[in-house]
Amino acid sequence: QVQLVQSGAEVKRPGASVKVSCKASGYTFTNYHMHWVRQAPGQGLDWVGVINPSGDSTTYAPKFQGRVTMTRDTSTSTDYMELSSLRSEDTAVYYCAVVRVGYWGQGTLVTVSS
Amino acid sequence: DIQLTQSPSFLSASVGDRVTITCRASQGISSSLAWYQQKPGKAPKLLIFDASTLQSGVPSRFSGSGSGTEFTLTIDSMQPEDSATYYCQQFNNFPHTFGQGAKLEIK
């Protein structure tokens, strides 16, 4: 069955970086874009960006431009999202998702605290 | 960025009620809209894509309609398990923005 398994929770200091992984299985990884979405505690959904199936093109939401990097390792069917210069407002659950077909990861809580 | 405004933001309904949630876009987005259901502590679940296509496995009491700037999600007969927050998302332009959410509770 389809699975998107994300890496575990992270606690980071302000100014640090975090890299979240998303390992896919059960479908043809290179057929679909992977989106990243975040949700701050008690808040709504916030689209972060997307990487294309071959991993050579990304589009990021303007609010994250310059701080986010999405990469893809097709050999391991794993996507990565790295967010730098973390601030407290980046505290959120980060999801990877193949939105077109409704596959979502379980979410990764990133806590930014001094 | 395209703004999506959902209304109402909060509603309560009794079992068997018909429920309608609206999503208005700040500019035309054709039919490039999806609806999600999210329950506390869980990832969103895709209900509808391309404004009106029911995702496989989703109960037929859910339906979507609309195009351009106005869209609706309808639940024909509210069930207790439908208590959740519902979000719309547009895919016509980057960034792929979400509505602010509509929380639906059972009366």
Cβ separation A45–B89 shorter than 8 A:
yes
A107 close contact with B: CB closer than 8 A: yes
Is residue A103 within 8 A of residue A27, CB to CB? The reply is yes
Q: What is the largest CA-CA distance in chain A?
A: 41
Which B residues 69-98 touch A at CB under 8 Å?
A: 87, 89, 91, 94-98
| Of B6, B18, B8, B24, the residue nearest B82 (C-alpha) | B18
Are residues B38 and A93 in contact, defined by beta-carbon separation less than 8 angstroms?
Answer: no
Among candidates B79, B73, B107, B103, which has minimal Cα distance to B11?
B103
- The nearest CA of chain B is from the CA of A6 a distance in Å of 12
pLDDT recorded at residue A100: 87
In tens digits, chain B (107 residues) has pLDDT values of 999 999 999 999 999 999 999 999 999 999 999 999 999 999 999 999 999 999 999 999 999 999 999 999 999 999 999 999 999 999 999 999 999 999 999 99
Chain B nearest CA to A109, separation (Å): 11
CB of A99 within 8 Å of a chain B CB? The answer is yes
Contacts (Cβ under 8 Å, ≥6 apart) of A28: none
